[in-house]
Amino acid sequence: MLGFIKFADTLSASFGKVFSWLVIMMTVGMSYEVFSRYLMNAPTPWALDVSFILYGTMFMMGGAYTLSRGGHVRGDFIYRLWPARVQAAVDFVLYLFFFFPGIIAMILSGYKYAARSYGYGEVSVNSPAGIPIYQFKAVIVVAGTLLFIQGLAQLARCILCMREGFWRRPEEDVEETEAALIKQFAESHK
């Protein structure tokens, strides 16, 4: 189980980190649009579509990474007071009955949606540029598959926690800005 957890965490982190670079492309594209629109008086017909596609892709492809790092929003005002084994049992049940059915529906309906879109070469109706969007629809399937794999790893984490009584956390690869600043402040004032 530990090997699969490491594999899933690494896979999710790899995709999350690669697709996080889309924020740079989105920033450059929107900056060009602002420059072109307001300084050159020549707005682009593609900027809105490209920003939607890049942001949506970045958001969806980061889902499994966020799940692997425990970054999704949860209402844990009571949950955090429970022993780790109880937390794991509740998480296990919730993953089985809510997470996986939703992810499977996402993959299956996303596949039909993407196949239909690809079949007729769907383009965006939001702008006159006619940006193709069928490849964006395929991201739904890829993101769902990554979430499914990471969900299996989360189930394995739950099983291990129910056996051992403690959570196995993923490797730390990023640090919140606030935490880094607090640590830096504490070190500089010793």
Q: What is the mean pLDDT for each group of 10 consecutive residues in the chain (190 residues)? A: 92 93 93 93 88 92 92 81 94 96 97 94 84 91 97 96 91 76 86
Containing domain of residue 11, as a range? 2-65+80-188
* Domain annotation covers residue 71: no
**Residue 37 covered by a domain:** yes
Check residue 171 and report its DSSP letter.
P
State how many domains the chain has.
1
**Residue 73 in domain:** no
Q: Which residues contact 62 (CB under 8 A, 6 or more apart)?
A: 16, 19, 20
Place of tokens 């942001």: 55
Residues shown for the chain: 190
Return the pLDDT at 9: 93
Q: Which residue has the tokens 């490849």?
A: 135
In a domain, 74, yes or no: no
Whole-Å CA distances, 188 to 17, 58, 59, 139: 31, 36, 36, 45
Instruction: For residue 7, tell me if it sits in a domain.
Output: yes
Q: pTM of this prediction?
A: 0.86
* HSE of 161, CA atoms in CB hemisphere, 13 A: 22
**What pLDDT score was predicted for residue 186?**
87
The rounded distance, in Å, linking the Cα atoms of 132 and 119 is: 12
Give the model's pLDDT for residue 100. Answer: 98
CA angle 112, 132, 66 (to 5 degrees): 65
Residue 107 is assigned to a structural domain of this protein: yes
Query: Residue 102: inside a domain, yes or no?
Result: yes
In a domain, 75, yes or no: no
pLDDT value of residue 159: 96
